[in-house]
Structure 1
């Protein structure tokens, strides 16, 4: 299944299954781009030599005006004037890459199943969790499917030092 179709399915499922009234008093803010930032879908996570290693599928993530431009460049033959949800994903390279997670990496989530009841899942902007909790979430199969979200990964010296879940409207 193409990643863009999977993301669309996740977004539709989220919009129909949850109330997405943001909590913690702030609005959505895009992740700041930097030379060290890679955006990707997570294929799997394994423990190798006493550290976690993510297998990722890198993507190009666009929001706002950039998303409109890329959408029209690639899909401008139809009647739509831009991507329906304000973001656009390009996944032209299906190659997977392994990256280790630093022992002191920071992980920030937007939404996940905190209670075990998927109907109680809600947004908490940039909620910091441990790497161990993140790995547990990635390995858990539930209706929210945490692996279906893109992640912004800050990579320094060949290892992931920061993971930020991308909110999908």
Structure 2
């Protein structure tokens, strides 16, 4: 039994559409995070991940993530014509990325990683959501560097930073 081609193209088309309605960012300034002595959570796009001899780094582009009424308000302010035409942000979220600054952080060896969707098998037809799936940091680095089925750099992440070191990475699912 053969599946329709549209079934395979739909997830990619959705990601492409969403990338068109968000503000794009290009690589520009790069900074290295300094220890602040406290914990913070940021929403980011991950530009790169690496681990050499157990020393991991992550380069991120901070974004603003809005949902619900906040997303509608920001969407209406920033894109009034689109808001008038479609009434609000598609899928009830909106991403703003006004800065092209990349910030590099160290990765904790035991950083927790929680995923919603990634390439488990190398087959597009197997791509499916598995909510809050815990994977190892090394597995995430390996999956992040594979882009043939799903490019994980196109999805937002919530990272927790403690004393300048990333201790948690949670993938934000976007429909």
The TM-score bracket by the shorter chain reads 0.7 to 0.9
Name the structure 1 match of 2:51: 47
RMSD: 2.0
State the structure with more CA Rg: 2
* Structure 1 ranges of 4+ moved more than 6 A: none
Question: Aligned residues, how many?
Answer: 142
Identify which of 48, 56, 63 aligns with 1:59: 63
Tell me how far 1:11 sits from its aligned partner: 6.1
Structure 1 residues without counterparts, runs of 5 or longer? 1-8, 16-34
Normalising by structure 1, what TM-score?
0.77
Name the structure 2 match of 1:126: 132
Asked if 1 retains the 8 angstrom alpha-carbon contact of 2:123 and 2:149, the reply is no
Normalising by structure 2, what TM-score?
0.75
Offset from partner CA, 1:41-82 (integer Å, 9 cap, x none) = 111112356311011111001111111111011112342321
Identify which of 148, 161, 165 aligns with 1:142: 148
Matched, 1:167 2:159: no
Q: How does 1:12-161 map to 2 (within 5 A)?
A: 12-13=14-15, 36-48=40-52, 50-78=54-82, 79-161=85-167
Offset from partner CA, 1:119-162 (integer Å, 9 cap, x none) = 10111110000000000011112131111110100111101111
- Of 141-150 and 154-163, more deviation after overlay is shown by 141-150
Tell me how far 1:14 sits from its aligned partner: 8.6
Tell me how far 1:10 sits from its aligned partner: 5.0
